[in-house]
Amino acid sequence: DAGITQSPRYKITETGRQVTLMCHQTWSHSYMFWYRQDLGHGLRLIYYSAAADITDKGEVPDGYVVSRSKTENFPLTLESATRSQTSVYFCASSAPKRETQYFGPGTRLLVL
């Protein structure tokens, strides 16, 4: 009954470093999403994936890379972290033809 999990829950890194945030879901949902949540901006979609090996950009994709080799995993990589990427990152998933999304607990990332 794990649902959707994210790791790490907290991460501190330095500018220029590569960081990968992990997301794993046990529902076999085909759709997965990455959001960032910032004060004053709300939830903003970074990338989403409709199925394994199918990904597409969201509202704020610059500086991020995703992959999806398996249905259950959807890692998000910050190739060269910047201070502006300090945020709370949420992974979500949903079933096909369903509008509702289910969220993980989030990863708090601080870029120094």
Partner 1 sequence: QKEVEQDPGPLSVPEGAIVSLNCTYSNSAFQYFMWYRQYSRKGPELLMYTYSSGNKEDGRFTAQVDKSSKYISLFIRDSQPSDSATYLCAMSAQAGNNRKLIWGLGTSLAVNP
DSSP-derived letter for residue 88 is: E
* Binds partner 1 by CB under 8 A, chosen from 31, 34, 64, 74: 31
User: By three-state DSSP, how is residue 61 classified?
Assistant: coil
Q: From the centroid of its chain, how far is CA 104?
A: 9
Using CA atoms, how far residue 100 sits from 13, 25, 34, 48, 50, in Å, is 33, 15, 15, 14, 14
Closest CB 80 distance from partner 1, rounded Å: 26
Buried residues in 100-112 as b, exposed as e (16+ CB within 10 A): ebbebebbebebe
Binding mask 44-83 for partner 1 (x = CB under 8 A): -x--x-x-----x-x-------------------------
Residue 44 CB, shortest distance to partner 1, in Å, is 8
36, 106, 109, 111: residue in contact with partner 1 (rule CB under 8 A): 106
Provide the binding-site residues for partner 1, judged by CB under 8 A: 31, 33, 40-43, 45, 48, 50, 56, 58, 90, 92, 94, 96-106
